[in-house]
Chain A
């Protein structure tokens, strides 16, 4: 066991898998010599050389388009999009190509790759360094979307994602990158994709979150405990395909659901989860499901802590839902 933050845990996962599998290549803007603007790929180019840790020109469609070609050519590319906010030039390649290759070719061609995407707010980045664009990709059949909340899961999910034979978007919450350290095993372990985790048991209300908001959810749960409300907190971990079953089982126990996400409310992943719970567990609900999310505005700079669904906004939602 070593104490690691999320940056070093992902770095450790990449290093392990590059040693383990020579098909793995890392590519993107500034990922080589600099080690990435967040240093997630630090030291990899020195260890594995310029051919496997590639500083690319500044073009997201070029990065993802060539990564798709590499994946088809037998490599396991791990391209980085420097900020989630800059992924849009590559959306054509992700939605029309990576997501569809297996389907449209009847399984003749696949694109196993992991697109690393630093996402989310809380770093004073304004709306070009803070977005959470998961909904676009969840809505696109053929893509997997992962978002760890802690260093342990980040390493295990990264190894599982690289070994997965479908394209995975790996959303890294920037706010968590260096926010906490925890024991992370050295060497190999994986965290299974599409498996949510109950991180705190409770009987009164189910609280679902992921990424940076998981910490806020736990803080909110501790706060309402003092008022006699026990929240069961679920870390979704993989956003798509979603582990609805774990949420359903919890809601069957608590009868109440609150979902937290940074992304805007309209058509956010919370909306899909509410719909699924209503379809499958309606008779178990004792209160209307609630969403605590980013507002339907662009992500602001100065007032980012008003935009984010932090604990101060989660607490009243939990209490109101529990006492409905």
Chain B
């Protein structure tokens, strides 16, 4: 991929409080900061963001209909997630939080596999062992999703460390929310990466909320990028609703890490437009006004306006795209819903590489034992 990124956007030593941006609300690119990406790439990012949005709409409906148990969406954060993933190289690894399925799908993780996970069926790569939205996507260099908020941060640092020891050209990126900056693993991960100059990116999605806790209750730091200073890790703030800005800064950080320049903390300033998850009701703790402001700055609409300005997207293309994606989603939902649950015996597999006797015994007891009348 031939990408032009203006060097020097990431300050070497001190964190920048300036918000790096390219697109204004109307989709007009600032010629000073525009990374001038190939239009095919911008279109691909836009389509992935739009597809993610359509998926969220559909999955939330499925949850409300009681057809899937849970959904955690990414409405409003599509640029932060997808444009950053787009800026990683094929050999790079993603250590996600639980809101980055869009990154895996951008890397061609099959939609059907995602949907199989949403239904926890026999075809789910996680074999129905995890909640919906907790996928595993090795083929997309995207690790198995976990729920304790920050644990993936140190792991991403460790994976990058292994690559460094083995002299492999691999960069890792951990994604996490603003709430995770309070976790042990954020501190440990930043510290280890700083000390050992590991080729890893800390992609901090500052979406304003950790369930009901607003950002100002999470940290007294003026910005989250400031936190890099304590660890000797450059911190930079990016308009996380501006796909081009997210891409440009992430790409620069990847290049820096790959060339031995060490880690970067990127604060992706975005907004969680929807609830924390299908189990959450934001009306209990925040004013709707916030959402209106976010609507104005909607990352998907903004990138669409940009493409339209460049005559690279039209209303007709939008309608055709939506129709195609919705049809694709329908097929995947239908297939995933029709698939059987995982076998009962499979519950006992892969606890260890080889099944020890006590599990073989319990497996037989369970398989041959009384059956619940509850549906799976």
Contacts and interface: CB of A to CB of B under 8 A. Distances in A.
A144 interface: yes
Contact of B191 (A57, A69, A96): A57
6 interchain residue pairs of minimum CB distance: A69-B158, A65-B154, A73-B162, A62-B188, A66-B158, A241-B356
Q: For the side of the interface on B, what is the size category?
A: 35 or more
B138 A109 contact: yes
B159 A73 contact: yes
Interface stretch (A99-107, A174-182, A218-226): A99-107
Contacts of A104: 126, 129-130, 134, 136, 144, 146
Interface in B144-158: 144, 146-148, 151, 153-158
B160 A106 contact: no
A21 to B, nearest CB: 13
Interface of A: 25, 51-52, 56-57, 59, 61-62, 64-75, 77, 89, 92-93, 96-97, 100-110, 141-142, 144, 164-166, 194, 241-242, 244-245
Most buried by B among A52, A103, A241: A103
A72 B170 CA distance: 13
B184 interface: yes
Nearest to B137: A108
A48 to B, nearest CB: 11
B211 interface: no
20 contacts: A51-B165, A59-B184, A62-B185, A65-B158, A65-B189, A66-B188, A68-B158, A69-B156, A69-B159, A69-B172, A72-B155, A72-B159, A73-B162, A73-B170, A75-B165, A96-B151, A104-B126, A106-B125, A242-B358, A244-B357
A105 B144 contact: yes
B313 interface: no
B353 A57 contact: no
Contact of A61 (B125, B143, B154, B165): B154
A74 B165 CA distance: 10
B185 A65 contact: yes
Contacts of A109: 136, 138, 143-144
A105 B128 CA distance: 10
A65 B357 CA distance: 30
Nearest to A67: B158
